[in-house]
Chains A and B, each alone.
Chain A
């Protein structure tokens, strides 16, 4: 089915796209390893909660698990802090008003205790949680599927068969730009999983995953 010329055309187009949107010059990490012929068989299956100790960030379509870039942890924490500040800010005004109201009386203690609890929860959410989320956020691509595993309490392993991918997006938002990160969105014809997001990728990695996923998709257009 593979039409050589067609394939080449697509590759040219892809490189053109890359040129139109140049990747930032990398400041860390080793040079990308030349892509070997993908091993078309899955590695032994780790359980859903298991964290492979050797998972790296240099993606290859070999069916092994890869992690997000370590800088994603900082990004997630920054997002957590911003979220906590916004939430705390919204909560602050009414609680300060209530605290200094003349009728507050015995409720003052309650307000203070609530604030301590809320602050602790926000701190956990903003600082500790991203660490746990990072440890459990893994992905892999093999001959048949892309799998994304994530979740701290409720864990999920999501499989998208490669020929079910409708299209993919590589996007970089404002915060991600300062961390030199991008995210990949895989679109399917499903409903709740119509757009599956894979975070914390260097732009080259995101493009590499996209190119790999695209290879099968071009063979059997839906």
Chain B
């Protein structure tokens, strides 16, 4: 095993899995499968297909060259990655600087037993190093090394999960459940004695299939698939063929026979479209997060899931900058919420599936889960404060003014039809009222919370130790109402700031003062 710092021994350098270039080439081919078949089927007789096949050669060559140019090796404290052909880069990534480790593998990679592994540090939006592809054993080794380094080198980071236990001696391992709550009472440790971080993964939650279906049922992603299929058919000219015309003419006959009478046809068609879209969305949702599992490994969280493409991430608890809790209107009757974490690292693929700690979870389980995920970020019950009492009035007045202004402008062009716009008003007023009532904030001894709108039901959580800046912003409209917004920024690049709008101006300022003082009392660890 390569471990010494010493002069770079040629034997220490490792390569990616030898099958990588083949898989890479296959993957490039797979990307071309649909266009290729289309071309081969529909443009028979032209030389077009030959051109496409020729254009694949460079990308295959590229895969092979990249494989031979990519080397990595482990030292005691860092991982060194050498890559590039024209511009060679050697990158040193210290284990303790690594924020997230993402593993993913699609169907093809699984067939070869390969994993894509990306290491993210706090720098920038790109992952620091992407390994395409390594075996599961190697992925585990990298993960273990990173974890071991984190435990020995930076005890403060590990304990930062709860700022108040920071003074704990470095040698003692603290299981997540064993930390104290802001109230001061200690939770019983989840596991007796010290936890071996490499062995004990305590499963926290497994998302059942029914929840994933629920999540998909309301998602609009199925519609995108239909749009794509429709567009594709249009590209191919399917709709101009006599066969399609004959079929479309026959639709009213059998559909009408099925539904019964003519009036129902329109309604039933609409319903069928909605149901079909929903079904496709459910399939997508299930495929994306099938068997989603969140596990607690002491200092870090692990998620995994996916049916065809599987993904696994590790997120150190201490490095979560901001938590987003989302309870959209359509999930609330089912008592379900979603939980997302923002870290300082750039995410490899900003897919929806991967940024969620929990894509969907029953609300009643949430408090318990939050205690494991961020013991200091447990939602307060009593401390919630509303925003300025005039917020509802202000939002409604703005809405009415804008609606009349727009209606007047449209009246000039459309005549009386413009008055239809006024129908928006009742809905807008309900929206403004509800939103104003939902807005709020809370400050505990360890974290600041912001509660947002009514439709999406967002709640943001930032620990005081993760605050970077706190600002009060006052627009001319704010000034008229003696209001201001508070913006708390963290190191998370996507959705990293917590915002409380419509605060009474003096409250906003007092809050800012309090937060920046509390932040300055706490050390910041990435």
A215 touches B (CB below 8 Å): no
A190 close to chain B: CB less than 8 A: yes
The stretch of B204-212, B373-381, B471-479 in contact with A is: B471-479
Closest beta carbon of chain A to B188's beta carbon, Å:
33
Asked if B517 and A145 make an inter-chain contact with CB atoms under 8 angstroms apart, the answer reads yes
Closest residue of chain B to A42 (Cβ to Cβ) is B513
Q: Tell me the chain B residues, 501-526 only, with Cβ under 8 Å from chain A.
A: 505-506, 509-510, 512-513, 515-517, 519-521, 523-526
B407 within 8 A of A: no
Contact partner of A154 among B476, B496, B519, B526, CB < 8 A?
Answer: B476
Q: Is A188 an interface residue (CB 8 A)?
A: yes
Verify B473–A154 contact, CB threshold 8 A.
Answer: yes
Contacts of A49 in B (CB 8 A): 474, 479
- Beyond A47-B505, A189-B526, A193-B469, whether A159 also contacts B475 by CB under 8 A is no
Q: Give the complex CA separation of A36 and B496 in angstroms.
A: 39
Task: Return chain B residues, CB-CB under 8 Å to A67.
Answer: none
Query: Which residues of chain A are near B512, meaning CB under 8 Å?
Result: 157, 159
The interface-forming segment of B25-33, B287-295, B486-494 is: B486-494
* Count of inter-chain pairs, beta carbons less than 8 A: 106
Given contacts A47-B509, A189-B122, A191-B489, contact A159 B471 (CB under 8 A): yes
Is B81 in the interface zone, CB < 8 Å from A?
Answer: no
**Do B497 and A192 touch across chains, with their CB atoms under 8 A apart?**
yes
Count, chain A residues at interface, CB 8 A: 31
**Chain A nearest CB: distance from B376 CB in Å?**
18
Distance from A122 Cβ to chain B, minimum over Cβ atoms (Å)? 22
Let me know if B214 is at the binding interface, CB within 8 A. Answer: no
* A160 in contact with B469 given A47-B509, A145-B517 (CB within 8 Å): yes
Complex contacts, B344 vs chain A, CB 8 Å: 189
Question: In the complex the two chains form, is A159's CB within 8 Å of B470's CB?
Answer: yes
Does any Cβ of B come within 8 Å of A9's Cβ? no
Q: How near does chain A come to B355, taking the closest CB pair, in angstroms?
A: 16
Query: B residues within 8 A CB of A47?
Result: 505-506, 509
* Closest B residue, CB atoms, query A158: B471
Contact yes or no, A222 B524, CB < 8 A: yes
Q: How far is the CA of A49 from the CA of B521 in the complex (A)?
A: 28
Residues in A with CB closer than 8 Å to B510 are: 45
Q: Does B484 contact A (CB under 8 A)?
A: yes
Please state if A164 and B524 are interface contacts (CB–CB under 8 Å). yes
Tell me whether B519 and A157 are in contact (CB under 8 A): no
| Contact (Cβ within 8 A) A155 B474 | yes
B468 at the interface (CB under 8 A from A): yes
Q: DSSP majority for the B interface? A: mixed
A residues less than 8 Å from B491 (CB atoms)? 189-191
Contacts of A52 in B (CB 8 A): none
A144 interface hit (Cβ, 8 Å): yes
List residues of chain A with CB within 8 A of the CB of B506: 47
Report whether A188 and B469 are in contact in the complex, using a CB–CB cutoff of 8 Å. Answer: yes
A218 in the interface (beta carbon within 8 A): no
Give CA–CA (A160, B344) in the complex, Å: 18
B467 part of interface (Cβ distance < 8 Å): yes
B interface footprint on A97-115 (CB within 8 Å = 1, 0 otherwise): 0000000000000000000
Most buried by A among B468, B469, B484, B493: B469
Cα distance, A48 to B476, chains bound together (Å): 12
Is A153 at the interface (CB under 8 A from chain B)?
yes
User: Which residues of the partner chain B approach A157 to less than 8 Å between Cβ atoms?
Assistant: 471-473, 509, 512
Q: Which residue of B lies closest to A159 (CB)?
A: B516
**Is A15 an interface position by the 8 A CB rule?**
no
Are A193 and B471 CB-contacts (below 8 A) given A153-B476, A164-B524, A220-B523?
yes
**Shortest Cβ distance from residue B99 to the other chain A in the assembled complex, whole angstroms:** 12
**A162 interface hit (Cβ, 8 Å):** yes
User: Which residues of chain B from 447 to 496 have a CB within 8 Å of any chain A CB?
Assistant: 467-476, 479, 484, 489-493, 496
One of B490, B492, B519 near A161 (C-beta < 8 A): B519
Question: Please, how many angstroms separate the alpha-carbon atoms of A143 and B490 in the complex?
Answer: 21
Q: Please pick, from B484, B515, B524, the residue contacting A48 in the complex, using a CB distance under 8 A.
A: B484
Query: Could you tell me if B476 and A161 are in contact, using CB atoms closer than 8 angstroms?
Result: no
Question: Bound state CA distance, A158 and B470, in angstroms?
Answer: 6
Give the distance in Å from the alpha carbon of A171 to the alpha carbon of B113 in the complex. Answer: 53
Out of B475, B520, B524, which one reaches A189, CB within 8 Å?
B524
In the complex formed, the residue of A with least CB distance to B472 is A157
Is A156 engaged at the interface, CB distance under 8 Å to the other chain?
Answer: yes
A145 touches B468 (CB 8 A): no
The reply to whether B469 and A159 form a contact with Cβ atoms under 8 Å apart is yes
Interface residues as binary, A10-48 with B (CB distance below 8 Å gives 1, 0 otherwise)? 000000000000000000000000000000001001011
A residues 144-200 in Cβ contact with B at 8 Å: 144-145, 147, 151, 153-164, 188-193, 196
CB proximity of A46 to chain B, nearest CB, Å:
9
Q: Min CB distance, B327 to chain A, in Å? A: 25
A135: shortest Cβ distance to chain B, in Å?
Answer: 15
- Residues from chain B with a CB closer than 8 A to the CB of A191 are 489, 491-493, 496-497
B180-202 vs A, Cβ < 8 Å mask (1 yes, 0 no): 00000000000000000000000
CA gap between A192 and B498 in the complex, in Å: 12
* Contact in complex: B520, A145 (CB < 8 Å): yes
Q: Once the chains are docked, how many angstroms separate the CA of A196 from the CA of B471?
A: 12
A161 CB, nearest partner CB in chain B, Å: 4
Chain A 200-222 per-residue mask, 1 if CB under 8 angstroms from chain B, else 0: 00000000000000000000101
Q: Assuming the A-B contacts A45-B509, A159-B469, A164-B469, are A192 and B489 also in contact, with contact meaning beta carbons closer than 8 angstroms in the complex?
A: yes
Which 8 A-B pairs give the minimum distances between C-beta atoms?
A190-B468, A161-B520, A159-B516, A144-B520, A189-B491, A161-B519, A190-B489, A158-B471
A-B contact list, 5 entries, CB within 8 Å = A48-B484, A48-B505, A145-B517, A157-B512, A189-B344
What residues of chain A have their CB less than 8 Å away from a CB belonging to chain B? 42, 45, 47-49, 143-145, 147, 151, 153-164, 188-193, 196, 220, 222
- Besides A159-B512, A164-B469, 4 more A-B contacts (Cβ < 8 Å) are A154-B473, A158-B470, A164-B520, A190-B490
